[in-house]
Amino acid sequence: MPSKGPTRIEHILTALSGTPPFDSQALNTIMKGFSIKKAWAKTVGKNIAKRAQPLKIAGKTLYVTAATSTWMEELKYLKADIIKKLNYELKETAVEDIVFRLGKVSEDGGQQSAATKRGHKQPARRTMGITDDTIDRLVRSVKDGELREVIRRAIVKMQGKYTGQ
């Protein structure tokens, strides 16, 4: 019976090679981060999403950047409800705790560093903790160089799709 929805690239590559092509735990963390980023505004609403954004997921702890200390305190009161709604939206218990941190959040809901706001150039920063190094570690075990680059580009493209970059 055909499966509902798209086939995970991990399953395709495992079927081709007989072994998982990369660290599936790291891939799961990245995919969970994409899912949370995508569900965030729908879960918390546009008003909160303009003032707070998910930064990264570590285990089942979600780290969220809040624009002001006032919003950070307000979100602490909403934490249990946000966790419940996020897990419902994701159809799994992906988040058990949220840690709120004070930081810069741009008006469009994306994160923006103070250096960027002042006009200083800095390396591209990816949200949800996904850096070029993480992607490199993830695809390092793929032997075929061409396939490794295709997977790398697919991850970067997916990241842009879910983060609006």
CATH number of 110's domain = 3.30.300.180
Which has the closest alpha carbon to 28: 100, 99, 130? 130
Range of the domain at 77: 22-163
Specify the pLDDT at position 52: 94
User: Considering the domain boundaries, does residue 17 fall inside one?
Assistant: no
Asked if residue 28 has pLDDT above 90, the reply is no
DSSP assignment of 35-74: HHHHHHHHHH-HHHHTTEEEEEEETTEEEEEESSHHHHHH
For the chain, the domain total comes to 1
Closest CA to 103 of 75, 68, 79, 57: 68
* 159 is a domain residue: yes
List, in order, residues 6 or more apart from 141 with CB less than 8 Å away.
Answer: 21, 22, 23
Q: Does residue 114 have a pLDDT over 50? A: no
In the block, which residue shows the tokens 């995970």? 8
Q: Is residue 118 domain-resident? A: yes
Q: Collapse the DSSP code of 155 into the 3-class scheme (helix H, G, I; strand E, B; otherwise coil) and give the result.
A: helix
| pLDDT (average), residues 34-59 | 89
Angle CA 6–150–40, to nearest 5: 50
- The verdict on residue 46 lying in a domain is yes
- Provide mean pLDDT across the span 40-59: 90
Whether residue 104 contacts residue 53, with contact meaning beta carbons closer than 8 Å, is answered with: no
| d(C-alpha 41, C-alpha 163), whole Å | 11
Report yes or no on 1 lying in a domain. no
Confidence of residue 77 (pLDDT cuts 50, 70, 90): very high
pTM of this prediction?
0.57
Three-class DSSP category at 20: coil
Q: What confidence category does residue 12 fall into, taking pLDDT thresholds of 50, 70 and 90? A: low
Residue 14 domain-assigned (yes or no):
no
Q: Classify residue 5: in a domain, yes or no.
A: no
pLDDT surpassing 50 at residue 90:
yes
Q: Which of 14-18, 102-106, 150-154 has the highest mean pLDDT?
A: 102-106
Say whether pLDDT at 61 is over 60. yes
